[in-house]
């Protein structure tokens, strides 16, 4: 996990430095919301928070490194024929998403798609941690109040492959983006 995190961070720094030379826009933001387990019977929905930065490398394509912390609720699992309560645990992820569509923080409504790659770790009480290369897919809607500030609402899935298939969650979140750079930003 550490090696993939370092590689993802290095790729983001290279993109950030190259984008500064061409004076494109970038943003930072935070978000929070609800995380829903998909097809996982032994956990329940709970909350999530996260932070992100976005660099527009082309007018409709951007790169968005992000860090997210998901808290899953307790659930029940069948252990040798007996139902037992199990800790939902925490999933922390670091990833880099490719965002495409309306991503430059314009005034009004913009829709964008999300496809990403990253590293996720699921920590649960009484069980070994699971750290995997993970995938992200989603859709977002951004509403620009001004050239500098926008409201961002998105639905984004986290997909962690495992030996039996995948662990999947769906995060539904809202947050604010603050834009910098050209086109009226700071």
For 41-55, what is each residue's pLDDT tens digit? 778 889 999 999 999
Query: Quick check: is 186 in a domain?
Result: no
d(CA 82, CA 91): 26
Provide the number of structural domains found in the chain: 1
Assess contact for 68 and 22: CB atoms under 8 A. Answer: no
Q: What is the pTM of this model?
A: 0.78
The two tokens of residue 96 are 């880099």
> What does the pLDDT look like over 145-168, one tens digit per residue?
988 899 999 999 999 988 888 889
Structural domain of residue 44, as residue ranges?
Answer: 2-180
Which residues have a Cβ under 8 Å from the Cβ of 109 and sit 6 or more positions away?
102, 141, 142, 143
Query: Can you give the pLDDT at residue 21?
Result: 46
Answer whether 122's CB lies under 8 Å from 88's CB.
no
Mark the ranges of the chain whose per-residue pLDDT is less than 70: 1-24, 104-105, 182-186
CA 162 from centroid of its chain's CA atoms: 20
Domain at 139, CATH number: 2.40.160.20
Give pLDDT, residue 98.
95
């Amino acid at each position: 996990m550490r090696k993939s995190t370092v590689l993802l961070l290095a790729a983001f720094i290279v993109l950030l430095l190259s984008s500064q030379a061409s004076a494109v826009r970038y943003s930072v933001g935070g978000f929070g919301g609800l995380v829903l387990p998909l097809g996982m019977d032994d956990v329940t929905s709970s909350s999530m928070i996260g932070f992100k930065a976005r660099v527009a490398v082309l007018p409709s394509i951007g790169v968005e490194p992000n860090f997210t912390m998901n808290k899953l609720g307790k659930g029940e699992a069948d252990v040798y024929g007996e139902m037992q309560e199990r800790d939902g645990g925490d999933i922390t992820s670091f990833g880099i998403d490719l965002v495409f569509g309306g991503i430059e923080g314009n005034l009004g409504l913009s829709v964008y798609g999300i496809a990403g790659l990253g590293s996720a770790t699921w920590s649960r009480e009484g069980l070994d941690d699971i750290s995997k290369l993970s995938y992200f897919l989603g859709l977002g809607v951004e509403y620009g109040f001004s050239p500098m500030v926008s409201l961002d609402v998105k639905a984004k899935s986290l997909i962690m492959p495992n030996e039996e298939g995948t662990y999947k969650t769906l995060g539904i979140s809202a947050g604010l983006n603050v834009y910098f750079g050209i086109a009226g930003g700071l």
